[in-house]
Amino acid sequence: MIKDITLGQYIPGESFIHKLDPRTKILISLIFIINLFIVNNFKGYIFILLFTLSSIAISKIPFKFIYKGLKPIFALIIITALLNVFMTSGGNEIFKWKFITIYEEGLKLAGFMIIRLILLIIGTSLLTLTTSPIELTDGIEKLLNPLKKIGVPAHELAMMMTIALRFIPTLMDETDKIMKAQMARGADFESGNILQRAKSLIPLLVPLFISSFRRADELAMAMEARCYKGGEGRTRMKQLKLTFRDLIAILTIILLIALSIWSRF
């Protein structure tokens, strides 16, 4: 299950989406997330779903890999759906048994939340799967550059966000190794109820924290050994340039927003 987490991983490729400017992909991802909450009916989500499936096809990322990234959040999706079904009232009464009552509005809201969570994970995963950590850092820094005038450390923020994303799959691999090592010594992480399983994971925290701090220290030493001084005077081998591809992508997301707003009325 831990190895199924795909957020933060990068798959090299030569697709249309891989070649987009990272700034374009970051902005499109942000607009996509906002758009998910603009839509308030299933008709609007059809347009977003078509856009998402088209993006997956164009990026040439295997759909099995996308599904693999969704597996770890299935439990969260089910819990969220059940909470909305049983805790939301309004509309026609669909089902009633003793103190349990299910309303039409609850089912509708549960459906919205399931779709939003799935599309949210897919949309954010596509950003990291098609953008290398270096491109992601440069893109975030360029977008934050105007904030330097008010004292915001754009380069440092971009670097921290990218390192945090890049460390997600690394920490997942480390957790998997620690679990296998402890299971070889007789640890049991699979039997018992949910509370017992949660307690059995506590022994993982100490070695995981030690490993994380060790990796962070090694990264800091490597950056110091290479005379890293931040963004001041830093040059780049590849300069970011907006192309005709980026214009097409921006026009496509604008069309999606227009269709989403139209679907509300």
pLDDT tens sequence across 90-100? 767 777 777 77
Q: What is the pLDDT of residue 6?
A: 60
Whether residue 236 is predicted with pLDDT greater than 80 in this model: the reply is no
The residue behind tokens 């450390």 is: 153
Structure tokens at 247: 């214009």
- Find out whether 101 and 89 touch, Cβ atoms under 8 Å: yes
Bigger pLDDT: 33 vs 170: 33
Instruction: Kindly give the interhelix angle for 244-264 and 22-38, rounded to the nearest 10 degrees.
Output: 0
Whether residue 198 is predicted with pLDDT greater than 70 in this model: the reply is no
Which pLDDT band, with edges at 50, 70 and 90, does 230 fall under? low
Q: How many structural domains does the chain have?
A: 1
3-state secondary structure of 240: coil
Please compute Rg for the chain using Cα positions. 22
The residue among 132, 180, 153, 166 whose CA lies nearest residue 12 is: 132
For residue 120, the enclosing domain spans 2-264
Q: How many CB atoms lie within 10 A of CB 180?
A: 10
Which pLDDT band, with edges at 50, 70 and 90, does 234 fall under? low
- Find out whether 159 and 46 touch, Cβ atoms under 8 Å: no
Name 101's bridge partners.
96
Structure tokens at 166: 């890049």
Task: Give counts: helices (H), strands (E), the chain.
Answer: 10, 2
Task: Give CA–CA dist 265/254, Å, rounded.
Answer: 17
Name the range with the highest mean pLDDT among 95-99, 128-132, 145-149: 128-132
Beta strands in the chain (DSSP E): 93-97, 100-103
